[in-house]
Amino acid sequence: MNAPVALDAMGGDHAPRETVAGALAAAAAGVPVVLVGDEARLREELAAQGGELPIVHAPEVIDMHAHATEVRRRRQASINVAMRLVKEGEAEAAVSMGHSGATMASALFTLGRVRGIERPAILAEIPSQAPSGRVHLIDAGANADVRPAHLVQFARMGAAYAERMSGVARPRVGLLSIGEEPTKGNQLVLEAHPLLAEAGLHFVGNVEGRDVLADAADVIVTDGFTGNVVLKLAEGEAKILFGWIKEALASSFKAKLGALLAKDALRRLAARMDPAEYGAMPLLGVRGPAFIGHGASDRRAVRNALARAHKMARSGLVEALAAVE
Amino acid sequence: MNAPVALDAMGGDHAPRETVAGALAAAAAGVPVVLVGDEARLREELAAQGGELPIVHAPEVIDMHAHATEVRRRRQASINVAMRLVKEGEAEAAVSMGHSGATMASALFTLGRVRGIERPAILAEIPSQAPSGRVHLIDAGANADVRPAHLVQFARMGAAYAERMSGVARPRVGLLSIGEEPTKGNQLVLEAHPLLAEAGLHFVGNVEGRDVLADAADVIVTDGFTGNVVLKLAEGEAKILFGWIKEALASSFKAKLGALLAKDALRRLAARMDPAEYGAMPLLGVRGPAFIGHGASDRRAVRNALARAHKMARSGLVEALAAVE
């Protein structure tokens, strides 16, 4: 089966220019891609960029200010058409840099949930000191309020992803809390701890904020409120610290000269910390690979997201999750 | 009135060496200090360091592994003696680098709560792009589960602290959430938002994880679970990023040479990001300035904490909080 990855080519702040450019780059790297969106507009963009890709026409688009409830009503919106292609086996995965809430809603009602998963969750990969070079944070924002049993489901999905997508054998699962002892945490964490200990996972207990980027766990489980704050803080702090480093390096002639010499090394590090490195985040627990990217995504993020979605489709992860229960 | 700051000289991983050294440094800078702890042991340490300071004897110490409930029973523990000095007007403030839970418990039952404050909260200052150079995060860990009304009390205390301690006129208060719109957040945040909007503060609405270190607010209000995760992540990430920068700068001869030239500029930045810069965090809402520091505090952190406690005692902050309701 060689179904392509469906890209919601109209989604995102810089669509369709960056989505098309990213899709062409992914296709050049061997990822099969189909563009979903306004056909005339996409043909025009492809011609301007001197490339060719298959297109599935979708006359509508859910813009960034739309209410997520519009998703159900607007059947011909590009995100819905992309998800339907996955549902019908015409695409192996869907990727959107558009409205996150709309993408989640579309994935949920078009693809449906994996059996045994009550709450699909977003998994974020954050560069860390773990051997795989990243920590897998779940839930990064899909569910603001959850119950202890949901955290166990998140843990299962996160561990399966770390294993199949990042090649981590027997991933260490940590529960995000405010102290290492099982007696530390809020009510949710206190109740989830014993459930996680008995879930048959490689549970390493509570981890703290300072452990997120350290080599304490491969998978960190938390509610979608805390997870979203953690993800955005981790990204925002890296950006601000690099800004301060730039300022510091411009503060004297000697420092400037040093900065010039160290430029390549620092640039590689900044690229590693750039969210575009991962491109987009999977919504785990729906029946098909669905990836949600930053609205601000550039072509590099789009290309990396498409490659990741393709990899997940071939990893058998969705089927593995369905087989758990 | 020239009551000194009472330092729990036996508290912390490196006590009494670092506590005594920090106290001597603070005293040399004009901060009146009294050491609280085992008198013979402290005399010995003072002699070894060639300094002199007043001592109030306290025969016991609450070690880092003690249960917080031991605090009430062990009346002669150094932390309890320090708090009693504040309560009785013999000290203007108390500082401890020991067991955080014990320090909180001791402050609560010895000093009591300020009228109108149901839940005292920990305020953390984190370096940020705000004009004052820092953001004031409250609660940073005292209350893992809170009600919406508690967040309003935290906001009041945080704003008063930012105004009197950091010189921020009309501090901008943000509510930590997972989207800017008032409709985004978990149940707690959704209910707290309208209460904060009507609290007579300069409320700027929701702020996200990416805004914590940006110039979005002077005070960020959150529950003690999220706040503690944020604080520890912010500190941990800075440490890990600086480590990666060091590695990057050692990766080639050219980069190494650059690093040598840029060393001073980078060192100043690393010092700014070091939690020792603030020294310790105040527990706001108890009747007297009480500061809680990292167990790992070195002399610089101890000195800075004592200076901060002295400043808070003279700021009239506790009295101002009591006058609010």
Closest Cβ opposite residue A234 in set B233, B265, B269? B233
pLDDT tier at B144, thresholds 50, 70, 90: very high
Superfamily of domain B1-117+285-325: Isopropylmalate Dehydrogenase (3.40.718.10)
Who has greater pLDDT, A277 or B99? B99
Report which DSSP code applies to B12.
Answer: S
Shortest distance between the Cα of B116 and any Cα of chain A, in A, equals 24
In angstroms, the CA A72 to CA A90 distance is 21
Based on the number of CB atoms within 10 Å of its own CB, is A196 exposed (0-12), middle (13-18) or buried (19 or more)? Answer: buried
pLDDT (0 to 100) of residue A265: 78
Size of interface A-B (CB pairs under 8 A): 186
CATH code for the part of the protein at A119-275: 3.40.718.10
Question: Given a cut of 60, is residue B197 above it in pLDDT?
Answer: yes
Which residues in A lie closer than 8 A to residue B208 (C-beta atoms)? 228-229, 232
Contact B208 A187 (CB under 8 A): no
Residues in chain B: 325
Contact B233 A209 (CB under 8 A): yes
pLDDT tier at B49, thresholds 50, 70, 90: very high
- Per-residue 3-state assignment (H helix, E strand, C coil) for chain A: CCCCEEEECCCCCCCCHHHHHHHHHHHHCCCCEEEEECHHHHHHHHHHHCCCCCEEECCECCCCCCCCCHHHHCCCEHHHHHHHHHHCCCCCEEEECCCHHHHHHHHHHHHCECCCCCCCEEEEEEECCCCCCEEEEECCCCCCCCCHHHHHHHHHHHHHHHHHHHCCCCCEEEEECCCCCCCCCCHHHHHHHHHHHCCCCEEEEEECHHHCCCCCCCEEECCHHHHHHHHHHHHHHHHHHHHHHHHHHCCCHHHHHHHHHHHHHHHHHHHHHCHHHCCEEEEECECCCEEEECCCCCHHHHHHHHHHHHHHHHHCHHHHHHHCC
Longest dimension (CA), chain B: 63
Contact A144 B214 (CB under 8 A): no
Every domain of chain A with CATH number 3.40.718.10 lies at: 1-117+285-325, 119-275
Closest Cβ opposite residue B229 in set A230, A252, A260? A230
Contact A233 B230 (CB under 8 A): yes
DSSP lists the bridge partners of residue B207 as B176
Report which DSSP code applies to B77.
Answer: B
Which residues in B lie closer than 8 A to residue A142 (C-beta atoms)? none
Closest Cβ opposite residue A265 in set B249, B260, B266? B249
pLDDT (0 to 100) of residue B324: 63
pLDDT (0 to 100) of residue A8: 97
pLDDT (0 to 100) of residue A325: 52
Backbone angles phi, psi at A270, to 5 degrees: -60, -40
Which residues in A lie closer than 8 A to residue B258 (C-beta atoms)? 257-263, 265
Shortest distance between the Cα of B143 and any Cα of chain A, in A, equals 8
Which residues in B lie closer than 8 A to residue A246 (C-beta atoms)? none
Query: Residue B145's closest chain A neighbor by CA?
Result: A186
Which residues in A lie closer than 8 A to residue B141 (C-beta atoms)? 178
Query: Residue A236's closest chain B neighbor by CA?
Result: B210
What number of other Cβ atoms are within 10 A of residue B296's Cβ?
13
Interface test with B, best of A139, A207, A220, A226 (most B CBs within 10 A): A226
Contact B259 A257 (CB under 8 A): no
Query: Residue A251's closest chain B neighbor by CA?
Result: B265
Contact B225 A144 (CB under 8 A): no
- The predicted-structure confidence for B215-262, as pLDDT tens digits, reads as follows 999 999 999 999 999 999 999 999 998 888 888 888 788 778 877 777
Residues in chain A: 325
Contact B229 A178 (CB under 8 A): yes
Give the list of residues 6+ apart from residue A88 with CB closer than 8 angstroms, or none: none
Contact B234 A178 (CB under 8 A): no
Every domain of chain B with CATH number 3.40.718.10 lies at: 1-117+285-325, 125-275
- The predicted-structure confidence for A41-87, as pLDDT tens digits, reads as follows 999 999 999 999 999 999 999 988 888 778 889 999 999 999 999 99
Superfamily of domain B125-275: Isopropylmalate Dehydrogenase (3.40.718.10)
pLDDT tier at B1, thresholds 50, 70, 90: low
In angstroms, the CA A103 to CA A153 distance is 21
From first to last of its 325 residues, chain A has per-residue pLDDT tens of 579 999 999 999 999 999 999 999 999 999 999 999 999 999 999 999 999 999 999 999 998 888 877 888 999 999 999 999 999 999 999 999 999 999 999 999 999 999 999 999 999 999 999 999 999 999 999 999 999 999 999 999 999 999 999 999 999 999 999 999 999 999 999 999 999 999 999 999 999 999 999 999 999 999 999 999 999 999 999 999 888 888 888 878 877 887 777 788 788 888 888 888 888 999 999 999 999 999 999 999 999 999 999 999 999 999 999 876 5
- The predicted-structure confidence for A188-201, as pLDDT tens digits, reads as follows 999 999 999 999 99
The letter for the amino acid at A287 is R
Closest Cβ opposite residue A241 in set B178, B230, B238? B238
Contact B265 A248 (CB under 8 A): yes
Shortest distance between the Cα of B148 and any Cα of chain A, in A, equals 15
Closest Cβ opposite residue A237 in set B225, B232, B237? B237
